[in-house]
Structure 1
Amino acid sequence: MCPERMILAAHPQSMFRRLSASRQTMAVLWLVVLAVWLSTTVARAEERIVLQLKWYHQFQFAGFYAADVKGFYAAEGLHVIIREGSPKRPAIQEVLEGRADFGVSNESVLLARLHGEPLVACAAIFQHSPYVVLTRADSGIRKPSDLPGRTLMMASPEASVQFLAMLKHEGIPLQRVKLVPQTWDLRDLIEKRVDAVTAYSTVEPMQMRQVGVEPAMIRVTDYGVDFYGDTLFTTETMVKKDRAQVAAFVRATRRGWEYAMEHPQEMIDLILKMPEVKRRGLRRENLESEAKEMRPLILPELVDMGHMNPGRWERMEQIFQETGFIRHKQSLKGFLFEPDPGIDTGLLWSLGCVLALALLIGGIVLLWNVQLRRKVERSTRDVRLSEANLTALIENTSASIWSVDRDLRYIIFNSHFHRLVEESLGRPPEVGMALSEILSAEELAERKPLYDRALAGERFLWEVNRTFRNVPHILAESFSPISNGREITGVTVFSYDITEQRKLEEQYRQSQKMDAIGQLAGGVAHDFNNLLMVIQGNASLALMAELPPEEVHAILQDIVTATERAAALTSQLLAFSRRQPMQPRDLEMNTIVTEASRMFGRLIGEDITLQTELTPSPTPVHADSGMIEQVLLNLAVNARDAMPHGGQLTLRTRVVPPQDLPGKLAARVDGEEFVQVDVSDNGQGIAADCLPHIFEPFFTTKEVGKGTGLGLATAFGIAQQHGGWLTVESMVGHGSTFSLFLPRHASTNGKQAAAPEPAVKKRRGNETILIVEDDSTVRNVVVHVLKQNGYRIYEAVNGQTALELWEQCGLETDVLITDMVMPGGVSGHELAQQLLAKKPSLKVIYTSGYSAEVFRGDFVLPAGVDFLRKPYRAEDLLAAVGKALDGGKTSV
Structure 2
Amino acid sequence: MKTDRRSATDTTSSPFGASAAAPAALERAKAVSRRSFLTYAGLGAAGLAGVSAIAACSSDSSSSASGATTSGATASYGDISLQLSWIKNIEFSGEFMADSKGYYTKAGFNKVTLVTGPVDSADALVAAGTVTVGLSAPDATARVITEQGAPLKIIGSTYQKNPFCVLSLEEGKPIRTPADLKGKTIGVQTGTNQTIFAGFLKANNIDPKDLKQVATGYEPTDLTAKKIDGYIAYLTNEPILVKGEGFTPVTLSFADNGLPLTAETFTVTDDTLKNKRDMLKAFLKAEIQGWNDAIADGGPAASAELAVNTYGKDKGLKVDEQTLEATEQVKLISTADTKANGIFTLTDDLQANIIKALGVIGITIKGSDLFDLTLLDEVYKENPDLKKG
TM-score range, shorter chain: 0.5 to 0.7
Give the Cα–Cα distance (whole angstroms) in 1 for the partners of residues 145 and 281 of structure 2. 20
Counterpart in the other structure of 2:47 = none
AA paired with 1:73? Y
C-alpha change, 1:297 and 1:43, in structure 2 (3 Å) is closer
**What is residue 307 of structure 2 aligned with on the other side?**
271
Mapping for residues 463-478 of structure 1, pairs under 5 Å: none
- Residue 360 of structure 2, aligned match among 317, 322, 326: 322
Q: Is the 8 A contact 1:128 1:228 kept in 2?
A: yes
Q: Distance in 2 between matches of 1:319 and 1:89?
A: 23
Q: Assess, with a 3 A threshold, how the Cα gap between structure 1 residues 195 and 300 changes in structure 2: closer, same or farther.
A: closer
Q: Does the Cα contact within 8 Å between 1:318 and 1:329 map onto a contact in 2?
A: no
Partner of 1:194: 228
Equivalent position of 1:253 in the other structure: 287
- Tell me, yes or no, if structure 1 residue 281 matches structure 2 residue 312: no
| Runs of 4+ more than 6 Å apart | none
Correspondent of 1:59 among 79, 90, 99: 90
Tell me the SS of whatever aligns to 2:278. helix
SS in structure 2 of the partner of residue 332 of structure 1:
helix
- Cα distance 1:196–1:90, how it changes in 2: closer, same or farther (>3 A)? farther
Task: Give the one of 321, 326, 332 matched to 1:297.
Answer: 332
Q: Which residue of 1 aligns with 2:170?
A: 137
Q: Which residue, 103, 106, 111 being the options, matches 2:137?
A: 106
CA positional deviation for 1:260 = 1.4
- CA-CA distance at 1:176 after TM superposition: 3.6
Which digits, 9 at most, give the CA deviation of each residue in 1:449-473, with x for residues without a partner?
Answer: xxxxxxxxxxxxxxxxxxxxxxxxx
The equivalent position to 1:168 in structure 2, one of 193, 196, 202, is 202
Asked if 2 retains the 8 angstrom alpha-carbon contact of 1:92 and 1:105, the reply is: yes
Letter in 1 for 2:343: M
Letter in 2 for 1:80: V
Q: Which has the higher contact order (CA 8 A, sep 6+)?
A: 2
1:146 alignment counterpart: 180
Residues 325-370 of structure 1: CA deviation (Å, up to 9, x unaligned)? 13x5535246314239xxxxxxxxxxxxxxxxxxxxxxxxxxxxx9
Q: What's the CA shift string for 1:381-402, capped at 9, x where partnerless?
A: 9xxx9xxxxxxxxxxxxxxxxx
CA distance in 2, matches of 1:334, 1:184: 30
1:240 and 1:134 map into 2 onto residues whose CA distance is 42
Match of 1:338 among 365, 374, 384: 374
Cα distance, 1:232–1:132 mapped onto 2, change above 3 Å: same
CA shift digits 1:299-327 (9 cap, x unpaired): 2672411112233222221222234x13x
Q: Which runs of 5+ in 2 are unaligned?
A: 1-72
Shift in alpha-carbon separation, 1:244–1:182, aligned structure 2, 3 A: farther
Q: 1:42 to 1:288 in 2, by over 3 A?
A: closer
Partner of 1:281: helix, strand, or coil? Answer: coil
Give the 5 Å matches for 1:43-82. 44-46=76-78, 48-78=79-109, 79-82=111-114
The amino acid of 1:284's aligned partner reads V
Q: Deviations over 1:45-97 (max 9, x none)?
A: 43x211111122222210011111111111111110112222x5543333334
Match of 1:84 in 2: 116
Contact 1:152–1:194 (Cα < 8 Å) also in 2:
yes
The 1:144–1:334 alpha-carbon spacing in structure 2 relative to 1, beyond 3 Å, is: closer
Residue 43 of structure 1: CA displacement? 7.9
The answer (yes or no) to whether the contact 2:261–2:357 under 8 Å persists in 1 is no
Match of 1:313 in 2: 351
Which has more radius of gyration? 1
* 1:735-774 paired onto structure 2 within 5 Å: none
- DSSP 3-state at the match of 2:374: coil
Q: 1:283 to 1:256 in 2, by over 3 A?
A: same
Mapped partners of 2:246, 2:353: distance in 1: 39
Report the 3-state secondary structure (helix = DSSP H, G, I; strand = E; otherwise coil) of the residue aligned with 1:290.
Answer: helix
Summarize the Cα distance change of 1:43–1:69 in structure 2 as closer, same or farther, 3 Å threshold. Answer: closer
CA distance in 2, matches of 1:122, 1:155: 29
Aligned length: 302
Q: For 1:100 and 1:189, how far apart are their aligned partners in 2?
A: 37
Gaps of 5+ in 1: 1-40, 341-369, 386-892
Cα displacement (A) at 1:230: 2.2
Q: What's the offset of the Cα at 1:124?
A: 1.3
Question: Identity, % of aligned pairs?
Answer: 25
Query: Relative to structure 1, is the Cα distance of residues 311 and 97 closer, same or farther in structure 2, using a 3 angstrom cutoff?
Result: same
Normalised by the length of structure 2, the TM-score is 0.68
Structure 2 CA distance for aligned equivalents of residues 190 and 314 of structure 1:
38
Does the aligned pair in 1 maintain the 2:300–2:327 contact within 8 Å?
Answer: no
Distance 1:270 1:288 in 2: 11
Q: Quick check: 1:56–1:85 contact (8 Å CA) kept in 2?
A: yes
Distance 1:153 1:100, change over 3 A: farther
1:144-173 Cα offsets, whole Å, 9 max, x none, are 223234333335675566644432243212
Q: TM-score, normalised by structure 1?
A: 0.31
For residues 211 and 314 of structure 1, what CA distance do their matches in structure 2 show? Answer: 40
Q: Is the 1:53–1:83 Cα contact (8 Å) retained in structure 2?
A: yes
Label 1:161 to 1:98 Cα distance change in 2 as closer, same or farther (>3 A): same
Q: How far has the Cα of 1:200 moved from its partner?
A: 1.2
Contact preservation (8 Å) 1:154, 1:180: yes
Alpha carbons of structure 1 residues 50 and 193: separation in structure 2 relative to 1, 3 Å:
farther
Q: Tell me the CA shift for residue 297 of structure 1.
A: 1.6
Q: Distance in 2 between matches of 1:106 and 1:180?
A: 25
Cα 1:339–1:286, aligned 2, differ >3 Å: closer, same or farther? same
Q: Whole-Å Cα distance in 2 between the matches of residues 238 and 159 of structure 1? A: 31
The 1:153–1:175 alpha-carbon spacing in structure 2 relative to 1, beyond 3 Å, is same
TM-fit CA distance, 1:136: 2.5
Q: Rate the CA distance shift 1:165–1:300 in 2: closer, same or farther, 3 A.
A: same
